[in-house]
């Protein structure tokens, strides 16, 4: 009722304003609200659903959120890390039957590339890795699109999503072999491509002759920044950042990683550079956290890491790794702080244990804010939460 009254008042007020000013107001309106405002008038409907200039300008001004999937409660949970306000909505029907649970996701422009376990296929249960399915999902629009494989996908394959810098709305998916992809197809006797590209507009896969030296870190599912994908990879000389350029359709090593700590996670900072969070995770000592940052990836010069800040106060949580829990999602703030939404163990009064989902805001002085957001049974997600930017980009553009 309140939202309908608000929409009615906006209908009365906004038509009298210049169109440029109306757009500036709408740019500052959350994507979730704009979906409700589509019915205000035909002009707004066309602007919000079809105008690519407006949709991308709105995306570029949208703040980050955290998103996590709770298969226990069959819900999608989205949190504003500034206000810690959380919204829950049902998982899309296609994921609710338990046949296609989401294993991991990669974010690009508000679209989530989801790797799902295919439980229908029982033939492969005897091997160490099983068949998987790919889905493009926009949580704001609540729409999904299944990506048909050229032959089939394995859970241990690596996937990325990005776009050509001359045509942002022509999204592409990269797939290449992982270390357990049916034991590298037993010498590739199946003829399945080692590396291939899917273009959304043509809805087809094509083989790529793209190679790189080294091995991608098994724990690094990759991060999409400004249309390209980035992973942590290793070779004999040490660790480095591997990039796949969707414009040139080639792999390249862009910089070496800082000295290795016990655990590490790669992320995006400010939309145009990489962050690297590392932690020792030793129970008998302080779990010191290091945060490293690259220069802008679009800079003409060489890319390199510099230390942004570190935290070594007592009672820091183990942000990156728990033996029995999913790895947390995290975001690095502009004020030298870390925001993380993660799982942890909590002991009940009856000496039983349960899973506690906790949000942390940590700066150089230690834990600045801590809030328990949910208790539930242990979930099996690989990553507890992901950084996500709500957008109006429809999955039909992927056709």
Its sign, for the CA torsion 125, 129, 131, 135, is positive
Q: What is the mean pLDDT of residues 109-126?
A: 72
Per-residue pLDDT at 160: 95
Is 55's pLDDT higher than 50?
Answer: yes
**How far is Cα 281 from Cα 279, in angstroms, rounded to an integer?**
6
Is 361's pLDDT higher than 60?
Answer: yes
Show the DSSP H helices in 202-279 as ranges.
none
Q: Which residues contact 230 (CB under 8 A, 6 or more apart)?
A: 222, 223, 224, 241, 242, 243, 244, 254, 266, 274
Per-residue pLDDT at 128: 46
Percent of the chain scoring above 70 in pLDDT = 81
Per-residue pLDDT at 20: 85
Residue 42, SS3? helix
DSSP code for 325: B
Is 133's pLDDT higher than 80?
Answer: yes
Starting at the edge strand found earlier in the chain, the sheet holding 366-376 runs: 329-332, 337-347, 353-363, 366-376
DSSP code for 215: E
Is 54's pLDDT higher than 90?
Answer: yes
**How far is Cα 278 from Cα 293, in angstroms, rounded to an integer?**
12
Q: Which of 119-133, 140-154, 208-222, 262-276 has the lowest mean pLDDT?
A: 119-133
Per-residue pLDDT at 303: 93
**CATH class, range 63-398:** mainly beta
Q: Which of 94-98, 176-180, 247-251, 275-279 has the lowest mean pLDDT?
A: 94-98
Q: What is the 3-state secondary structure (H, E, C) of 128-188?
A: CCCEEEEEEEECCCCEEEEECCCCCEECCCEEEEEEECCEEEEEEEEEECCCCCHHHHHHH
Is 136's pLDDT higher than 90?
Answer: yes
State in Å, rounded, how far the first CA of the chain is from the last one.
36
Per-residue pLDDT at 349: 76
Q: What is the mean pLDDT of residues 180-197?
A: 64
Is 328's pLDDT higher than 50?
Answer: yes
Is 48's pLDDT higher than 80?
Answer: yes
Per-residue pLDDT at 205: 95
Is 114's pLDDT higher than 70?
Answer: yes
Domains in the chain: boundaries: 1-62, 63-398
Is 22's pLDDT higher than 70?
Answer: yes
**How far is Cα 255 from Cα 258, in angstroms, rounded to an integer?**
10
Per-residue pLDDT at 384: 81
| Band of residue 126 on the pLDDT scale cut at 50, 70, 90 | very low
> What H or E segment, with its residue span, contains residue 242?
strand 238-245
Is residue 286 within 8 A of residue 313, CB to CB? The reply is yes
Q: Which of 104-113, 157-166, 274-283 has the lowest mean pLDDT?
A: 274-283
Q: What is the mean pLDDT of residues 136-158?
A: 89
Per-residue pLDDT at 123: 44
The overall average pLDDT reported for the chain is 83
Residue 109 structure tokens: 């422009």
Is residue 341 within 8 A of residue 385, CB to CB? The reply is yes
Per-residue pLDDT at 155: 82
Q: What is the mean pLDDT of residues 171-193?
A: 68
Query: Does residue 152 or residue 382 have the better pLDDT?
Result: 152
Residue 147 structure tokens: 């990506």
DSSP code for 328: P
User: Phi and psi (nearest 5°) for 144?
Assistant: -135, 160
Is 191's pLDDT higher than 70?
Answer: no
Q: Which of 124-128, 299-303, 372-376 has the lowest mean pLDDT?
A: 124-128
């Amino acid at each position: 009722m309140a939202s309908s009254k608000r929409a009615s008042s906006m209908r009365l007020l906004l038509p009298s304003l210049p169109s440029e000013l109306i757009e500036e107001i709408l740019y500052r309106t959350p994507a979730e609200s704009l979906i409700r405002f589509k019915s205000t008038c035909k002009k707004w409907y066309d602007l919000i659903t079809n105008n690519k200039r407006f949709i991308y300008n709105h995306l570029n001004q949208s703040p980050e959120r955290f998103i996590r999937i709770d298969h226990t409660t069959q819900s999608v949970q989205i949190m504003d890390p500034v206000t810690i306000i959380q919204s829950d909505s049902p998982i899309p029907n296609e994921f609710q039957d338990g046949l296609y649970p989401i294993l991991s996701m990669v974010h690009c422009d508000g679209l989530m590339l989801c790797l799902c376990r295919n439980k229908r296929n029982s033939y492969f249960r005897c091997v160490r890795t099983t068949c998987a399915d790919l889905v493009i999902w926009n949580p704001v629009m609540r729409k999904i699109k299944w990506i048909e494989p050229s032959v089939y996908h394995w859970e241990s394959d690596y996937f990325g999503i990005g776009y050509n810098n001359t045509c942002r709305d022509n999204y592409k998916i990269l797939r290449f072999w992982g270390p357990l992809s049916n034991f590298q197809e037993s010498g590739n006797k199946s003829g399945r491509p080692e590396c291939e590209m899917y273009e959304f507009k043509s809805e087809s896969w094509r083989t790529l002759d793209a190679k790189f030296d080294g091995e991608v870190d098994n724990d690094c599912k990759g991060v999409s920044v400004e249309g390209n994908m980035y992973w942590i990879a290793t070779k004999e000389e040490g660790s480095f950042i591997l990039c796949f350029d969707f414009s040139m359709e080639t792999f390249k090593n862009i910089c070496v990683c800082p000295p290795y700590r016990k655990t590490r996670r790669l992320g995006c900072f400010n939309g145009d550079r990489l962050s690297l969070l590392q932690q020792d995770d030793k129970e008998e000592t302080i779990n010191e956290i290091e945060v490293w940052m690259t220069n802008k990836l679009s800079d003409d010069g060489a890319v390199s890491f510099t230390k942004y800040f570190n935290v070594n106060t007592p009672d820091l949580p183990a942000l990156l790794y728990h033996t029995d829990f999913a790895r947390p999602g995290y975001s690095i703030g502009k004020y030298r702080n870390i925001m993380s939404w993660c799982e942890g163990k909590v002991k009940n009064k009856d000496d039983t244990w349960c899973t506690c989902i906790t949000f942390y805001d940590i700066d150089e002085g230690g834990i600045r804010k801590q809030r328990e957001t949910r208790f539930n049974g242990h979930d099996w997600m690989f990553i507890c939460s992901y950084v996500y930017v709500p957008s109006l980009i429809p999955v039909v553009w992927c056709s």
